[in-house]
Amino acid sequence: MDVERLVGSPTSVKVAEVAADTPSIKTLVFEHGETSLTGRPGQFLMVSISGVDEIPMSISHLESDTVGITIQPIGEATEALVSMRAGDWLGVRGPFGTHFSIDAKRSLVVGGGIGMAPLRPLMYSLIERGIETTLLIGAKTKDDLVFYKEFNNIPGVQLLASTDDGSLGFKGLATEATRTIIADSKFDTIYTCGPELMMKGLLDIATTRGMKIQASLERYMKCGCGICGTCAMDPTGILVCIEGPVLNGEQITELSEFGLYHRNSTGTKVNF
């Protein structure tokens, strides 16, 4: 067995650039030089911060010589990441997991909060392939919309927003906005990442309307590469780190815990 390949060739990378995407969310971009550190939209890296932890992070930037991650601080490791500056060093392994399949004719991309991270490189792949795309970004307020300014005025992309407080775009949940958007449009595929209850709502909409859906799921991960079993989902035991994180509608429909609960670091069920 090629162990190095399985665990994802641990590599040290230097932070080249730090960008503030919202008042709390930041993007770190690092040069990958001649390493094999690339990836495809939807894949993730295991990122280690010396003396703190190693955590999964979606690839949000994919350029020929740089890779980036976009971080929402919620605990010790993510707080450490958003405190980093250009010149600091990180450990990375990967890329891991499945990626989005670009097989849509007319796509609706729905990103909730930090869920926009893996959808950013997907958007550029859809644009590059000339696929007609509507992007709906959802957040609590207009200041929390991730990558909204970046996708404003890009030819071929219709950009929409939904905010809980109505400060920009549709007032309400992204699922409610989606029902309005698809009422008079013919999308064949929904791509999504965000809060699981949002993705559950989108799965129900897609199933009812006979649309395809691909969603990027999040489960607690320790190894990130299929060894520890932490990310297994009921009842099939599918491992999100290697068989996901991007799953299609048929695969997700088999998962009885989707939209109901996830497991924390000790394996205890936590309801959504």
Ligand X SMILES: Cc1cc2nc3c(=O)[nH]c(=O)nc-3n(C[C@H](O)[C@H](O)[C@H](O)COP(=O)(O)OP(=O)(O)OC[C@H]3O[C@@H](n4cnc5c(N)ncnc54)[C@H](O)[C@@H]3O)c2cc1C
Binding site for ligand FES (CB under 6 A): 221-224, 226-231, 239, 241
The option from ligand FES, ligand X, none interacting with 70 (CB < 5 to 8 A, set by class) reads ligand X
User: Strand 189-193 and strand 106-112: pairing?
Assistant: parallel
CB 123 within 8 A of CB 134: no
State the minimum distance, in angstroms, from the CB of residue 179 to ligand FES: 34
Amino acid (one-letter) located at 187: F
Residue 245 belongs to what H/E stretch? none
Interaction between residue 44 and ligand X (CB under 6 A): yes
Of the two residues 26 and 219, which places its CB atom closer to ligand FES in the complex? Answer: 219
Of the two residues 120 and 181, which places its CB atom closer to ligand X in the complex? Answer: 120
Of the two residues 56 and 201, which places its CB atom closer to ligand FES in the complex? Answer: 56
Stretch that binds ligand X, among 14-22, 68-76, 123-131, 204-212 (CB under 6 A): 68-76
- Is the dihedral angle over the CA atoms 7, 264, 44, 210 positive or is it negative? positive
Stretch that binds ligand X, among 14-22, 63-71, 100-108, 123-131 (CB under 6 A): 63-71
Interaction between residue 228 and ligand X (CB under 6 A): no
Q: How far is CA 205 from the centre of its chain?
A: 20
Question: Taking the chain, what is the end-to-end CA distance rounded to the nearest angstrom?
Answer: 38
**For the chain, what's the residue count?**
272
Strand segments, DSSP code E, in 72-211 are 89-96, 106-112, 132-139, 157-163, 170-171, 189-193
CA angle 81, 87, 92 (to 5 degrees): 50
Of the two residues 96 and 170, which places its CB atom closer to ligand X in the complex? Answer: 96
DSSP state letter for 21: S
| Burial label, 259 (beta-carbon count in 10 A; 0-12, 13-18, 19+) | middle
Position with the least CB separation from ligand FES: 241
The option from ligand X, ligand FES, none interacting with 75 (CB < 5 to 8 A, set by class) reads ligand X
The option from ligand FES, ligand X, none interacting with 77 (CB < 5 to 8 A, set by class) reads ligand X
Stretch that binds ligand X, among 13-21, 71-79, 121-129, 169-177 (CB under 6 A): 71-79
The option from ligand FES, ligand X, none interacting with 262 (CB < 5 to 8 A, set by class) reads ligand X
The option from ligand X, ligand FES, none interacting with 134 (CB < 5 to 8 A, set by class) reads none
Interaction between residue 100 and ligand X (CB under 6 A): no
Q: Phi and psi of 170, rounded to 5°?
A: -65, 135
Rounded Cα distance between 105 and 226, Å, is: 33
CA angle 83, 86, 88 (to 5 degrees): 70
Stretch that binds ligand X, among 33-41, 141-149, 178-186, 213-221 (CB under 6 A): 213-221
Interface positions with ligand X (CB under 6 A): 44, 53, 55-58, 69-72, 74-78, 114, 117, 218-221, 245, 262, 264
